[in-house]
Amino acid sequence: MSGRPTLIGEDGLRHDNRRPDELRSIKMEVGVLKNADGSALVEFGNTKVIAAVYGPREPPAKYMLSPEKAIVRCRYHMAPFSTAERKSPAPSRREIELSKVIREALESAIFTELFPRSAIDIFIEVLQADGGTRTAGLTAASLALADAGIPMRDLIAAVAVGKIDGVIVLDIDELEDEYGEADMPVGMMPSLNQVVLLQLNGVMTREEFDAAMNLAVKGIFEVYRLQKEALSKKYMLYIEE
Amino acid sequence: MANIYVANRQIVKPGDLLAEGDDAIAGSYTYKVGGKVYGTVIGLAEVKENAVSIIPLEGVVVPREGDLVIGVVVGVGVTNWFIDIRAPYKAVLNAGEAIEQFNPLTDDIRKYFDIGDYVLAKVLIFDRSRGPILTTKAKGLGKIVEGLVIDVKPSRVPRIVGKRKTMVEALTSLTNCSMTVAVNGRIWIKCPNSLLEDIVIRAIRKIESEAHIPGLTDRIRRFIEDEKRRAGIP
CB atoms within 10 A of CB B195: 15
Mean pLDDT throughout A6-35? Answer: 91
Check if B56 contacts A (Cβ < 8 Å): yes
Question: What does the mean pLDDT of chain A come to?
Answer: 92
**What's the gap in Å between the CA of A225 and the closest CA on chain B?**
11
pLDDT at position A1: 47
pLDDT at B192 over 60: yes
Judge whether A61 lies within some domain. Answer: yes
Judge whether A65 lies within some domain. Answer: yes
At A178, phi and psi to the nearest 5? -70, -40
Judge whether A20 lies within some domain. Answer: no
Task: Describe the strand order of the beta sheet including B148-151 as a list of residue ranges.
Answer: B148-151, B186-190, B178-182
- The residues near A117 (Cβ < 8 Å, ≥ 6 apart) are A65, A66, A67, A70, B88, B89
Percentage of chain A modeled with pLDDT above 70: 97
pLDDT at position A42: 97
Percentage of chain B modeled with pLDDT above 90: 24
Mean pLDDT throughout B203-220? Answer: 84
For residue A235, list chain B residues with Cβ-Cβ distance below 8 A.
11, 42, 57, 212
Of B38, B129, B213, the CB nearest to A191: B38
Percentage of chain B modeled with pLDDT above 70: 99
Judge whether A56 lies within some domain. Answer: yes
Please answer yes or no on whether B88 and A58 come within 8 Å at the CB atom: yes
ipTM of the complex: 0.88
Is A76 buried (19+), middle (13-18) or exposed (0-12) by CB count in 10 A?
buried
Judge whether A17 lies within some domain. Answer: no
Residue B50 to residues A83, A153, B32, B188, B200, Cα–Cα distance (Å):
53, 21, 13, 38, 38
- Under the banding of pLDDT at 50, 70 and 90, the label for residue A109 is very high
Q: Which domain holds residue A186?
A: 26-240
**Where do runs of H (alpha helix) occur along B65-192?**
157-161, 166-175
Which has more confidence, A172 or B9? A172
Which has more confidence, B39 or B64? B39
pLDDT at position A29: 95
Judge whether A10 lies within some domain. Answer: no
Judge whether A206 lies within some domain. Answer: yes
Is A172 buried (19+), middle (13-18) or exposed (0-12) by CB count in 10 A?
buried
CATH number of the domain residue A127 falls in:
3.30.230.70
pLDDT at B87 over 90: no
User: How many CA atoms lie less than 13 Å away from A191 in the CB half-sphere?
Assistant: 24
For residue A147, list chain B residues with Cβ-Cβ distance below 8 A.
42, 58
Mean pLDDT throughout A8-36? Answer: 92
pLDDT at position B231: 80
Mean pLDDT throughout B142-158? Answer: 87
Question: What does the mean pLDDT of chain B come to?
Answer: 87
At A147, phi and psi to the nearest 5? -65, -30
Task: Describe the strand order of the beta sheet including B43-48 as a list of residue ranges.
Answer: B11-12, B43-48, B51-56, B25-26
pLDDT at A240 over 60: no
pLDDT at A239 over 80: no
Of A142, A113, A158, the C-alpha closest to B41 is A142
- Give the residue from B6, B10, B16, B40 with the most A CB atoms within 10 Å of its CB, the best one to mutate: B40
Of A113, A19, A41, the C-alpha closest to A72 is A113
pLDDT at A179 over 70: yes
pLDDT at B160 over 70: yes
Check if B169 contacts A (Cβ < 8 Å): no
pLDDT at B177 over 90: no
Judge whether A187 lies within some domain. Answer: yes
Q: In chain A, where do the E strands start and end?
A: 26-30, 38-44, 47-57, 71-78, 119-128, 157-164, 167-170, 182-189, 194-198, 201-202
Domain total in chain A: 1
d(CA A26, CA A223): 8
- List, as one string, the DSSP characters of B12-60: E-TT-EEEESTT-EE-TTEEEETTEEEE-SSEEEEEETTEEEEEESSS-
**What's the gap in Å between the CA of B17 and the closest CA on chain A?**
8
**What's the gap in Å between the CA of A148 and the closest CA on chain B?**
5
For residue A150, list chain B residues with Cβ-Cβ distance below 8 A.
41, 59
* DSSP type of residue B165: G
Least confident of A125-134, A195-204, B102-111: B102-111
Element (H, E) at B151: strand B148-151
- Under the banding of pLDDT at 50, 70 and 90, the label for residue B1 is low
- The residues near B170 (Cβ < 8 Å, ≥ 6 apart) are B162, B217, B220, B221, B224
Which has more confidence, A120 or B127? A120
Of A55, A155, A238, the CB nearest to B14: A155
Which has more confidence, A234 or B52? B52
Of B177, B81, B199, B180, the C-alpha closest to B140 is B180
Please answer yes or no on whether B88 and A56 come within 8 Å at the CB atom: yes
* DSSP type of residue A8: B
pTM of this structure: 0.89
d(CA A125, CA A137): 8
- The residues near B26 (Cβ < 8 Å, ≥ 6 apart) are B32, B37, B51, B52, B53
